[in-house]
């Protein structure tokens, strides 16, 4: 039996987007950094680690697309956003990049929460 487009799981879209985002951060961290802040070695490494986290999170979600897995991801994204705001407050040089990162992490958290709430069971 084939699913019609309107019957496909909602969770597939944010998972594919997260996988793509993670790959971009892994493969082109400098390009992502240039518009928002200094492209230091530390910042590049940080973006690659973050990219790996997004890829792992996407793969884990595909393997087990349950509300609990989405909820854990949502909490991780929320904590990430909070720590990015703390970095922005502590390091003036990194402020713009950190606030951009905080906004992106908050968006991921909201998206995860919407999936859990709308579907209950992705």
Question: 1 in a domain, yes or no?
Answer: no
Question: 91 in a domain, yes or no?
Answer: yes
**Tens digit of pLDDT for each residue in 69-117?**
989 999 999 999 999 999 999 999 989 999 999 999 999 999 989 888 8
The string of DSSP letters for 31-76 reads: HHHTTTS---HHHHHHHHHHHHHHHHHHHHHHH---HHHHHHHHHH
pTM of the model: 0.84
Q: What is the largest CA-CA distance in the chain?
A: 56
d(CA 31, CA 69): 31
Q: What is the pLDDT of residue 44?
A: 94
Owner of token pair 């496909």: 8
Find the domain containing 37 and state its range.
9-119
Question: 46 in a domain, yes or no?
Answer: yes
**Tens digit of pLDDT for each residue in 27-56?**
999 999 999 988 899 999 999 999 999 999
Higher pLDDT, 93 or 2: 93
Question: 2 in a domain, yes or no?
Answer: no
Token code pair at residue 46: 């940080």
**Tally of structural domains, the chain:** 1
């Amino acid at each position: 039996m084939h699913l019609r487009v309107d019957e496909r799981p909602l969770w597939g879209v944010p998972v594919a987007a997260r996988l793509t985002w993670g790959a971009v951060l892994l493969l082109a961290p400098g390009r992502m950094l240039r518009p928002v802040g200094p492209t230091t070695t530390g910042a590049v490494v940080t973006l690659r680690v973050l990219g790996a986290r997004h890829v792992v999170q996407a793969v884990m979600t595909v393997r087990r697309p349950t509300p609990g897995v989405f909820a854990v991801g949502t909490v991780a994204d929320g904590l990430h956003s909070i720590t990015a705001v703390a970095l922005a407050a502590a390091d003036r040089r990194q402020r713009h990049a950190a606030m951009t990162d905080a906004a992106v992490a908050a968006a991921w958290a909201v998206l995860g929460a919407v999936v859990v709430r709308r579907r209950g069971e992705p």
